[in-house]
Amino acid sequence: MPRVDDAFGKAVTHVLTEHQLGKRQQTVRTGLDHVTIGKMMDGIIPSVETVEKFARGFKLDVNAWRTLAGYEPVESGAQILDAGLYRLSQRVGEVIPWEGETPRERLTPAEARAELADIEEELRERGMLKD
């Protein structure tokens, strides 16, 4: 049985009303079909991926929408990178700089983890980090 939350349904309806979009017109922004949006307006909680797609389509805070739908918020790529650099710095005893091409605030969590893996590998190759 699907989870239902009236506050979630009202929030979805509010966003659509605020943007003067119906169930079918919102598809251009979110890529979600009108049936899914109708269920969301009725308060039926969709998958986390669908919640995120909706939030991104309207440039809304993804973590706020994850929380509203009952899902755990996720860390941003910048938070993951900063925490990982701090842990690595503690292990090697010096500050580890990061000079990536993508601005920190635009890093996805996956990109941040990949950057950290590359930095860790480089530190091991230099003999600065041991397992």
Q: pLDDT for 81-129, tens place per residue? A: 998 999 999 999 999 888 888 888 888 888 999 999 999 999 999 998 8
- Which of 72, 77, 36 shows the shortest CA–CA distance to 54? 36
Give the residue from 68, 93, 112 where a domain finishes.
68
Model confidence, pTM: 0.62
- 22 and 47: one domain? yes
List the domain range (segments joined by +) for residue 18: 6-68
- 11 and 57: one domain? yes
- 16 and 60: one domain? yes
Q: Calculate ∠ Cα 15-30-26, nearest 5°.
A: 55
Q: Is residue 1 part of a domain?
A: no
**pLDDT at residue number 131:** 64
Q: Is residue 131 part of a domain?
A: no
Q: Which residues contact 1 (CB under 8 A, 6 or more apart)?
A: none
- 57 and 96: one domain? no
Helices (H), 20-76: 27-30, 34-41, 48-57, 62-68
Say how far apart CA 128 and CA 131 lie, in whole Å.
Answer: 10
Say how far apart CA 27 and CA 117 lie, in whole Å.
Answer: 37
Total structural domains in the chain?
2
- 12 and 59: one domain? yes
